[in-house]
Amino acid sequence: MKLYLKFDTNIALKKIIQEQFDKMQMDYNYLGFAEIEINDSVSSVEMRKLDDCLNVYGIQIVENQKSVLVQKIKDTIIEMVYKEDKLPISNSAYLSDKLKQRYGYLSSIFTEITYTSIENFILLQKAERAKQLISTNEFTFTEIAYTLNYSSVAHFSNQFKGITGITPSSFQRIIKKRRENSSNLE
Amino acid sequence: MPKEPIHILLADDDEDDRLFFKEAFEEIKINTRVQMVNDGVELMNFLTREGNHLPQILFLDLNMPRKTGIDCLLEIKRMAHLKDIAIAIYSTSSSEKDIEDTFVQGANVYIKKPSDFSMLKKILEQVITINWQYQTSGLNRDNYFLSL
């Protein structure tokens, strides 16, 4: 006996996704053909498991695993730069410990997706934190250099200039003048 | 980096400079879409015309006839619908005072016009990469100053 099937791939896909996501107990929205929004945070282990489940049906998660990891790296760096009282001595040890992955792996994925290195991203974030601290007017450059784990004010100043192109003192003057200008307008 | 091209607008009265920039953008590995205007008046018309797709970043020559880069900068900063555009000023001056003044007036990036092509490419690539971080990594745009 021969059977002839008529089918709708979209309905089939939706059904497979529903079953697999329910199995993984993930809350999701199906946004339309082949696009899904996950409503809670998903660990990279869960993401890999989900990918394995879907692979059985010939479905692959495109790029997302990597983007999720890159987002986690960024979040971890921002947490490190903004929330730690004093920055860790070794960025790579801190990141691989927090994310439970080899640093070399994190580093290569990060560069592949963002076209910039983890080290560069950290420098950029440190400069941002420095700007934030400078603009509060509550800290001396010496205190800021210490918090951000620079060996000296000169080292801090040089790296700040390397990233932003301007010196910390120049930044301070710009912020001050901008504030004067906007209060004059009011 | 996004798969969508980054939308760039260039305002410069010098035809050679415009070509120079256009070629540099074509050669860097980041996907960009470059539009050009020939002076400050054209620029302000472009930015205030209904329905025009606004750029993510504007490269603005400081010395233009009819309306200078600084005049444009000040006008742009007064218009609420243009506040998300990053503004990169370029000029032949590299005096610290000129640079600081430009930032005080609301520019985000200051580029000292390089004389050779490979340097220009390198600078533009850097600007686009950093600008991308400001668009996607939640950095505070009030503190966005980059001098190259």
Q: How far apart are CA A146 and CA A156, in angstroms?
A: 9
Which whole number is the average pLDDT over B35-59?
Answer: 92
**Percent residues over pLDDT 70 in chain B:** 97
Q: Please give the angle made by the CA atoms of A146, A148 and A153, to the nearest 5 degrees.
A: 50
Q: With residue A184 as reference, give the H or E element that holds it.
A: helix A168-185
Q: Which residue has the higher pLDDT, A34 or A4?
A: A4
User: Dmax of chain A from CA atoms?
Assistant: 88
Q: Give me the pLDDT at residue A179, please.
A: 87
Of the partner residues A115, A164, A177, the one whose CB lies closest to the CB of residue B147: A164
Q: How far apart are CA A107 and CA A105, in angstroms?
A: 5
Kindly state whether residues A99 and A152 are assigned to the same domain.
yes
Residue B93 has which token pair? 């001056």
Residue A181 has which token pair? 């200008």
ipTM (interface predicted TM): 0.83
Domain membership flag for residue A3: no
- Chain segment A168-179, per-residue pLDDT in tens: 999 999 999 988
Q: Does B41 touch chain A (CB under 8 A)?
A: no
* Angstroms from A113 CA to nearest CA on chain B: 7
Are A165 and B146 a contacting pair, CB within 8 Å?
A: yes
- Chain segment B114-133, per-residue pLDDT in tens: 888 999 999 999 899 888 88
pTM of the model: 0.74
Kindly state whether residues A121 and A142 are assigned to the same domain.
yes
A174/B145 CB distance under 8 A? yes
Residues 6+ apart with CB under 8 A from B113: B17, B90, B91, B92
Of A16, A24, A31, residue with least CA distance to A47: A24
Chain B interface mutation, best of A115, A123, A125, A129, highest count of B Cβ atoms under 10 Å: A115
Residue A117 DSSP class: -
Q: Does B99 touch chain A (CB under 8 A)?
A: yes
Q: Which residue has the higher pLDDT, A145 or A5?
A: A145
Domain membership flag for residue A6: no
Q: Please give the angle made by the CA atoms of B75, B91 and B142, to the nearest 5 degrees.
A: 50
- Chain segment A13-61, per-residue pLDDT in tens: 889 999 999 998 888 888 776 678 888 777 778 888 888 888 888 887 7
Q: How far apart are CA A60 and CA A51, in angstroms?
A: 6
Chain A residues within an 8 Å CB radius of B30: 115
Residue A121 has which token pair? 């991203």
Are B134 and B144 a contacting pair, CB within 8 Å?
A: yes
Of the partner residues B137, B138, B145, the one whose CB lies closest to the CB of residue A164: B145
SS3 B78: helix
A132/B140 CB distance under 8 A? yes
Domain membership flag for residue A148: yes
- Chain segment A102-141, per-residue pLDDT in tens: 999 999 999 888 878 999 999 999 999 999 999 988 999 9
Residue A46 buriedness (CB in 10 A; 0-12 / 13-18 / 19+): middle
Instruction: Give the type of residue at A72.
Output: K
* Angstroms from A144 CA to nearest CA on chain B: 16
Q: Does B79 touch chain A (CB under 8 A)?
A: no
Kindly state whether residues A153 and A180 are assigned to the same domain.
yes
Spell out the domains of chain B, with CATH numbers in brackets. 6-147 (3.40.50.2300)
A vs B, Cβ pairs < 8 A, gives: 52
Kindly state whether residues A85 and A154 are assigned to the same domain.
yes
Other CB atoms within a 10 A radius of the CB of residue A62 amount to: 10
B137/A174 CB distance under 8 A? no
Residue A73 DSSP class: H
Q: How far apart are CA A110 and CA A124, in angstroms?
A: 15
Kindly state whether residues A128 and A52 are assigned to the same domain.
no
pLDDT tier for residue A154 given thresholds of 50, 70 and 90: very high
Of the partner residues B96, B129, B137, the one whose CB lies closest to the CB of residue A74: B137
Q: Does B139 touch chain A (CB under 8 A)?
A: yes
Q: Give me the pLDDT at residue A64, please.
A: 67
Residues 6+ apart with CB under 8 A from A186: none
Residue A2 DSSP class: -
Kindly state whether residues A20 and A77 are assigned to the same domain.
no
Q: Does B129 touch chain A (CB under 8 A)?
A: yes
Q: With residue A31 as reference, give the H or E element that holds it.
A: strand A28-32
Domain membership flag for residue A16: yes
SS3 A155: helix
Kindly state whether residues A105 and A177 are assigned to the same domain.
yes
- Between A76-85, A115-124, A150-159, B97-106, the lowest mean confidence (pLDDT) is in A76-85
Q: Which structural domain range is residue A112 located in? A: 67-185
**Number of domains within chain A:** 2
Kindly state whether residues A164 and A82 are assigned to the same domain.
yes
Residue A57 has which token pair? 């049906």
Q: Does B82 touch chain A (CB under 8 A)?
A: no
Q: Does B97 touch chain A (CB under 8 A)?
A: no
